[in-house]
Structure 1
Amino acid sequence: MTTSLLGQTDRGPELRPTRLRKWAPLPVLMIATTMAILDFFIVNVALPDIQSELHTGSATVQWVVAGYGLTMAIFLISGGRLADRYGRRLVLAIGIGIFAIASLACGLASGPGLLIAARLVQGVGGALMSPTVLAIIGALYFGADRRRALGVYGLVMGGAAVGGQLIGGLLINADLLGTGWRAIFLINLPLSALALALLRIVPPSRAAARRPVDLVGLALVGAALGMMMLALVQGRAMGWPLWSWLSLAAAGALLGGAVVQQRRLAARGAAPLFDPAAFVSRTVRAGLLATLIYQANQPPLYLILALYLQQGRGMGPVGSGLVFSVIAAGYLITSLPAPSLTHRYGRRVLVAAAAILVVGFAVLAGTLLRIGDGGPVAALLPALMIIGLGQGLGLNSLTALVIAGADPDHVGAVAGVQATVQQVGAAVGVAMLGLVFFGLADHGLGFAFAVSALVLAGLMIVVGLLSRLLPAGSGLR
């Protein structure tokens, strides 16, 4: 996804804006970033209303959340390749257009099948937008300016993720023109229109080396991830029939086939989706595994917390969103200094983040076991603040550490794969934690949430252990 960001770029005259106009494109890029990230999380507070109006069950809830991340993960790398090949501004415009049309379809969906299909298409639009935004930042900004631009990008991403629930709650409560939960999707229409109208501010650019998209590799990876998600979500809902186990086995075989196919392409000097040479380093492999596991904590936590607050405690969307604002506050406190701390202290920052999250999830589990589906919701706030502090520190540090451990010649490839792994972790995390939460829901949502929190604590312990294989020194690049 970010080969253009950190690799070779066609730095023609159009990529050297005057000092006065240097920062003008950044707000436009951040609108696209906000939409792409916000729509993964904004749906959480709307899920009870969606279930009620569309008369659907827990499997649909998981697909509405995870389906977006699934298609985004599948098409991220190809989105970056298309932007490099055909022009970044053009591909960004197409991505925004697809996202807007899919958002309209979500807002007009009359049934769960239509809503899920529209969410899958939304993910494709997001996959075209996200890597293209990063590539444009890499083409426009250099040195200290690039670090500042990426700092804004990270802050916007985090703010959209942790603030999405409150924004969604306010939109649903406002009930604009009687749209209810549909407003969380329809709000993307004016934002998309604004971004497209201002897109002329962004200078055109494309990569000097324009590699083709590996359609076979894309199909293998996409089929593998799709079959795995289908088995984990629908298999649980249907009582684990034989086809679900066969689907999991087929997913593993397809992933194995994708690895073989990528190696053969690389050996022939072709352009694989994932260059195997980039992952020879044990540090990179450990970092990507840590990324996969780490990313499985945030999206499922937000999904489960929203369901617990609204279905278990009877809170409305706005009240639920206000509870989420506690996580947002913690996130913002630590996300701002995280890059400089990681630059100085290396992997110790990730170890600290993982430890904070373990404590936060343990405190959350203990509180839930004590109050169950009753007691004051305020009792959850200390644990949620701790979790927010850990998430703000961990996400930024993990990204920097994986890039720092990569060979300089393969930094772009590793960055692109890491972005894909983040989305895979999010989608699979929703499916896997859904097995725990929905499987135990008959014992009370508080109990199911508590056990889920303990599982998340265990995952963060694994992240802490893996971090020992990441760069340790100060002055990371």
Structure 2
Amino acid sequence: MTTRRWAALPVLLVAVFVTTLDFFVANLAVPSIRADLRAGDASVQFVIAGYGLAYAAGLIASGRLGDLYGHRRVFRFGLALFTLASAGCGLASGAVWLVVARVVQGGAAALLAPQVLTLIGELYRGADRATAFRWYGTAVGLAGLSGQVIGGALVAADHLGLGWRACFLVNVPIGAAALAVTGRLIPAPLPSPIRPAGLDVGGAVLVAAGLVAVVLPLIEGREQGWPAWAWWCLAASGPILVTFVRRQRRLADSGRTPLLDLDVFTDKAFALGLVAVALLFGTSAGLSFVLALYLQDGLSLGPLAAGAVCTALNAGFFVASLRPRRIGAPVLLLGLCLLYDVVARAAPPYQVAMALLVVGAGMGLLMSPLLSSVLSAVRPERAGAAAGMLGTVQETGGVLGATITGAVFFGALDGGDWRAATLAGLSVLVASASGVLAFAALRPRARTPVAARVCAQHARHGGDG
């Protein structure tokens, strides 16, 4: 069984890698998509935004679906749907087809993400769990940091004349292979004690609407000059989400099963950990945004040269993630301060790469211990809901980070000074990394042994359940 459990990990990591990669891999394909499909600006924007919107809107409900119907079953369904949707994207003959396929692809990714987190928590215990989460953090980080480089390489290679379509079609053989071995390698859990009738459909609609009302204007608002509808959406998001919370409390008080067990937030370690995760993923997304512009437009590097500089970020992350430590947050902050200094001095690209090596190391040291400790603070029966909330926070944090950093960056670029704009964006990221350090330090550590004992008891009495 031990060998089988470890054989399951690559399948889970492949799923999380390709779904995370698809957030970024299409960015470099946008010009080719516009030219090939004769797509307008709005359509092209929704090729990117549609995926993120569907992903963010579906995560909490997807975590609950795993609790209700079994995490392996929902994982297999999500993987099959993601593979089919990727084929649909690659075969799209028009912009509308591509946008619809991307929305379906994002919804499938939302089905997968909470199941991966929960299955890792169920399959591994103690030191093995820490190792598994370390590899999970490595997969997420590498996919996020290298997405644009991989996308650019696929488009440039133009294998078989596929061009931008390769960014999506590459998922098909990978997904099919993973799906073929999922049933054999991922053990079937014990039956869930929760009845399928417990799914709160009304709550799912409310939380999806609330998240779309937050994410959509943040993605599209700046591109369209912050029209009135964007502000109305943001204003409506608060009441919608408050209504969702009240509905969840009402269902819990009446003895019915809510979509999200709000008791997960009573644990201070979990709540503070979520804030740290949001800031970390916001920092990562904001950095990717700033680097893409500064290296190519500010330093006039070509796509391949810019990608070569960014490999330092990936290398630092990968090496450090092999032996993560709690010093990750200070190292991340130090790396961003070094990067700020390098840009301020207009240093050559190799010095930018050296600073990025430190930034990547900080992220690699921090990511997997943070994710693992956040989920370990939650009781096993709440694992699916907590994983869904964690995934939602990751996605929303990334959108907020890129949007806020972009707004500050372009606000400072009015005079055409790329270095000043980059420094303004990096100031936001330094503040965000400082928040990661503060919230990670505030998280109580005394509860970790308690969580470990709970997991050990669950393992003795529930097995893989």
* Bin for the TM-score computed over the shorter chain: 0.7 to 0.9
Letter in 2 for 1:426: G
Letter in 2 for 1:300: G
The 3-state SS of whatever aligns with 2:189 is coil
Whether 2:448 is the aligned partner of 1:457: answer: no
Query: What is the distance in 2 between the residues matched to 1:133 and 1:238?
Result: 36
Letter in 2 for 1:238: Q
Greater mean alpha carbon deviation, residues 148-157 or residues 446-455: 148-157
**Number of matched residues?**
446
Greater mean alpha carbon deviation, residues 248-257 or residues 60-69: 60-69
Is the contact between residue 75 and residue 128 of structure 1 (CA under 8 Å) also seen in structure 2? Answer: yes
Q: 2:152: which partner in 1?
A: 169
Question: Structure 2: where are the runs of 5+ without partners?
Answer: 453-465
Q: 2:353: which partner in 1?
A: 381
After superposition, the C-alpha distances for 1:363-408 in whole angstroms (9 at most, x for unaligned) are 323433443xxx7322311221121112112222322343455567
1:296, distance to aligned residue in structure 2 (A): 0.7
Q: After TM superposition, list the pairs within 5 Å mapping 1:222-261 onto structure 2.
A: 222-261=208-247
Is the contact between residue 45 and residue 317 of structure 1 (CA under 8 Å) also seen in structure 2? Answer: no
2:14 to 23, 31, 34: 31
1:51, distance to aligned residue in structure 2 (A): 6.0
Question: Structure 1: where are the runs of 5+ without partners?
Answer: 1-16, 342-348
Taking only aligned residues, the RMSD between alpha carbons, in angstroms, comes to 3.1
Q: 1:9: which partner in 2?
A: none
Q: 1:299: which partner in 2?
A: 285
Query: What is the distance in 1 between the residues matched to 2:424 and 2:95?
Result: 29
Is the contact between residue 44 and residue 306 of structure 1 (CA under 8 Å) also seen in structure 2? Answer: no
Q: 1:208: which partner in 2?
A: 192
Taking structure 1 as reference, are residues 80 and 235 closer, same or farther at Cα in structure 2, changes over 3 Å only? closer
Q: After TM superposition, list the pairs within 5 Å mapping 1:128-147 onto structure 2.
A: 128-147=111-130
Whether 2:204 is the aligned partner of 1:218: answer: yes
TM-score by length of 1: 0.82
Identity of counterpart residues, as a percentage?
41
Whether 2:244 is the aligned partner of 1:276: answer: no
Taking structure 1 as reference, are residues 404 and 81 closer, same or farther at Cα in structure 2, changes over 3 Å only? closer
1:188, distance to aligned residue in structure 2 (A): 0.5
After superposition, the C-alpha distances for 1:144-201 in whole angstroms (9 at most, x for unaligned) are 5444433333333333333334433332232111222321211001111212222332
Taking structure 1 as reference, are residues 321 and 51 closer, same or farther at Cα in structure 2, changes over 3 Å only? farther
1:455, distance to aligned residue in structure 2 (A): 0.7
1:474, distance to aligned residue in structure 2 (A): 10
1:57, distance to aligned residue in structure 2 (A): 8.7
Letter in 2 for 1:394: L
Query: What is the distance in 1 between the residues matched to 2:180 and 2:405?
Result: 40
1:206, distance to aligned residue in structure 2 (A): 5.4
Q: After TM superposition, list the pairs within 5 Å mapping 1:325-404 onto structure 2.
A: 325-338=311-324, 341=325, 349=326, 352-371=327-346, 376-403=348-375
Q: 2:105: which partner in 1?
A: 122
1:417, distance to aligned residue in structure 2 (A): 2.0
The 3-state SS of whatever aligns with 2:194 is coil
Query: What is the distance in 1 between the residues matched to 2:86 and 2:124?
Result: 31
Query: What is the distance in 1 between the residues matched to 2:55 and 2:243?
Result: 21
1:323, distance to aligned residue in structure 2 (A): 2.0
The 3-state SS of whatever aligns with 1:297 is helix
2:403 to 419, 427, 431: 431
Is the contact between residue 409 and residue 425 of structure 2 (CA under 8 Å) also seen in structure 1? Answer: yes
Query: What is the distance in 2 between the residues matched to 1:447 and 1:60?
Result: 32
Q: 2:463: which partner in 1?
A: none
After superposition, the C-alpha distances for 1:219-246 in whole angstroms (9 at most, x for unaligned) are 1121112122222233323322322222
Query: What is the distance in 1 between the residues matched to 2:295 and 2:433?
Result: 24
